[in-house]
Amino acid sequence: MKKQLVMTTLVFITSTALISISPALAITGRDSWKVIRASRDVLIEQPAFAGVFGDQGLFNACATEDEFRSLVPVKTCLSNGCEKYEIRNVTVNRVHTKNICVRFTPMNAYSSGECVDYKTVTAMYPTSFQLPVIEGDAEQSGDYIFSKNYSVPACE
């Protein structure tokens, strides 16, 4: 009887664990972005600049040859702490500068090849991104699930 109770408890715990993680695992790279974004069990990582487009990030943007534009106006802070703000359309230039490493320390027992010299270069943001999808919600993030391509639509 005791052995049967232990087995029943283990089966229940295993079943409960599978049920508790199944919502995030039910989302796959074959699902549409609409389905993925509707899930409360996943987070979509986006490039840092996408934050200016609000909570939706790149999903609230369209692209021209020169810039990304918000599709829907977003709340833009005008002061520290956001006491003052306005709702407006925003843009991000696709041409930007970034620092790249041009010289590393030699890899050896004392160094893992750290960058010791940077150079600023001009680059252009693409209109297509591989966006990682991870388990999690607004409170906590978890494991990587998959990456999926997202192409920012052209502005009309």
Q: Tens digit of pLDDT for each residue in 81-112? A: 888 889 999 999 999 999 999 999 888 888 88
State residue 13's pLDDT score.
35
| pTM tops 0.85 | no
The set of residues, in sequence order, having a beta carbon less than 8 Å from that of 118 and lying 6+ positions away, is 99, 100, 101, 102
Q: What is the C-alpha to C-alpha distance for residues 52 and 34, in angstroms, rounded to an integer?
A: 21
pLDDT band with cut points at 50, 70 and 90 for residue 35: very high
pLDDT band with cut points at 50, 70 and 90 for residue 1: low
Q: Which two tokens stand for residue 45?
A: 């990582």
Q: What is the C-alpha to C-alpha distance for residues 65 and 82, in angstroms, rounded to an integer?
A: 32
